[in-house]
């Protein structure tokens, strides 16, 4: 495998894991208020992305059930390190693959 892609895959997974960690804090705060939905950061691999998306609590939990899945805005996916596993009118769910999937699972705060 191309080492440039592997290197990018590792960096991309770390960027997405950072956004996931921020969103976990947002989720915890939102859950405490028994809200029906939450605004979270796009979990794409672009470290400069500051866009948000709306998820229901159920959607968020389903995405978090797998340590290598992330919610991103359409067009923010990177097919070199992830595949699309779900799509709707508000966001898509990507699954990190290969080395980036391993890194994402290793950095999953939910274990």
Q: What is the pLDDT of residues 73-102, one digit of tens each?
A: 999 999 988 999 999 999 999 999 988 888
- Two structure tokens written together for 98: 């290969």
Q: Enumerate long-range contacts of 74-78, CB under 8 Å, 24 or more apart.
A: 76/42, 76/44, 76/46, 76/49, 76/51, 77/44, 78/12, 78/44, 78/45
Average pLDDT over residues 55-81: 94
Return the percent helix, strand and coil in the chain, to nearest 5.
Answer: 40, 25, 35
- Name the percent of the chain lying above pLDDT 90: 49
- Which of these ranges, 6-10, 33-37, 82-86, has the smallest mean pLDDT? 6-10
Confidence band for 44, pLDDT divided at 50, 70 and 90: very high
Query: Looking up tokens 């892609």, which residue turns up?
Result: 5
Q: Characterize the bridge pairing of strands 52-56 and 37-41.
A: antiparallel
Confidence band for 62, pLDDT divided at 50, 70 and 90: very high
């Amino acid at each position: 495998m191309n080492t440039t892609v592997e290197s990018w895959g590792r960096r991309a997974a770390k960027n997405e894991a950072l956004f996931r960690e921020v969103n976990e804090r947002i989720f915890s705060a939102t859950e405490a208020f028994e809200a029906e939905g939450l605004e979270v950061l796009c979990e794409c691999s672009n470290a400069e992305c500051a866009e948000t998306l709306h998820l229901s609590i159920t959607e968020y939990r389903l995405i978090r059930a797998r340590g290598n899945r992330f919610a991103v805005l359409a067009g923010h996916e990177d097919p070199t390190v992830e595949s699309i596993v779900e799509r709707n009118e508000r966001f898509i769910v990507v699954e990190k693959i290969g080395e980036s999937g391993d890194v994402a699972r290793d950095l999953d705060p939910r274990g």
